[in-house]
């Protein structure tokens, strides 16, 4: 049974990457939208561009991992494709994990492209690369699982897009991308610490500065918690929808 689940997860991920993710509009959306927001703030304050790099990577992870993930399951339920997948010898949690893996891979690939561009421009010597990779992986997992939860919670694709943006856009402005969380009013700081993007930005900032694992330990642990919470909630919701 475990072998069937792992094989099913792998092929579901491949199918989604081929059918939905690696298309020119999705690639450009995942890369150009975060760049556009960051450049808008950089034009306003050109001397602060280096400090925006962790936020740029965090936004690319957020949009790359969650954008298509938030609509794929809703779309497949709408056209009946999900019901055909449910006939495969794969348990529901494994099916959903395969869907999430597609978002994780796409989020990491688009972020790697942005990271390479940043390296060409700034060099970024002294980066804690293992910490950076783990922070990116856990963040992509949390954002993809969040997208999956959004997708299983609605019936129509346009509803998924609206609900996903309802979560993503507040995170952009409260998660420490453009304004440090410590400078926010107390009430907004509380809200910021309930958002996964806040911990992504903090962990990436530590990694880019070459900081130790201990400085980002809490961030990584919280991202694991978000990933598990989103995955369990999405599995439970999908089981009720298709049961």
Instruction: Tell me the C-alpha distance between 162 and 129, whole Å.
Output: 35
* Structure confidence by residue, pLDDT tens digits, 25-44: 666 666 666 666 666 666 65
* Residue-by-residue DSSP string for 46-57: GGGTGGGHHHHH
Say if residues 209 and 122 touch (Cβ distance below 8 Å): no
Residue 125 burial (C-beta neighbours within 10 Å; 0-12, 13-18, 19+): exposed
* Structure confidence by residue, pLDDT tens digits, 59-107: 889 988 888 777 888 887 777 777 777 777 778 888 899 999 999 999 9
Q: What does the block give as tokens for 149?
A: 């939860």
Give the per-residue pLDDT at 92. Answer: 86
Backbone angles phi, psi at 128, to 5 degrees: -80, 90
- In b/e form, how buried is each residue of 181-190, taking b as 16+ CB within 10 angstroms? beebeeeeee
Distance of CA 66 to the CA centre of its chain: 5
């Amino acid at each position: 049974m475990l072998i069937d689940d792992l094989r099913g997860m792998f092929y579901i991920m491949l199918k989604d990457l081929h059918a939905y993710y690696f298309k020119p509009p999705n690639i450009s959306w995942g890369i150009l939208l975060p760049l556009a927001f960051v450049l808008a703030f950089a034009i306003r304050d050109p001397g602060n561009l280096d400090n925006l790099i962790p936020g740029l990577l965090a936004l690319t992870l957020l949009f790359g991992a969650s954008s298509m993930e938030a609509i794929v399951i809703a779309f497949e339920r709408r056209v009946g494709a999900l019901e055909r997948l449910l006939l495969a010898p794969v348990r529901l949690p494994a099916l959903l994990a395969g869907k999430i893996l597609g978002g994780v891979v796409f989020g990491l690939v688009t972020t790697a492209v942005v990271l390479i561009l940043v390296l060409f421009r700034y060099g970024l010597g002294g980066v804690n690369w293992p910490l950076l990779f783990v922070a990116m992986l856990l963040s992509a997992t949390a954002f993809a699982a969040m997208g999956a939860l959004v997708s299983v919670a609605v019936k129509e694709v346009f509803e998924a897009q609206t609900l996903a943006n309802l979560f993503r856009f507040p995170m952009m402005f409260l998660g420490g991308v453009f304004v440090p969380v410590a400078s926010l009013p107390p009430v907004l700081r509380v809200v910021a610490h309930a958002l996964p993007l806040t911990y992504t930005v903090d962990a990436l900032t530590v990694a880019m500065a070459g900081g130790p694992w201990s400085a980002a330990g809490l961030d990584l642990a919280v991202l694991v918690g978000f990933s598990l919470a989103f995955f369990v909630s999405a599995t439970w919701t999908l089981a009720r929808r298709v049961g």
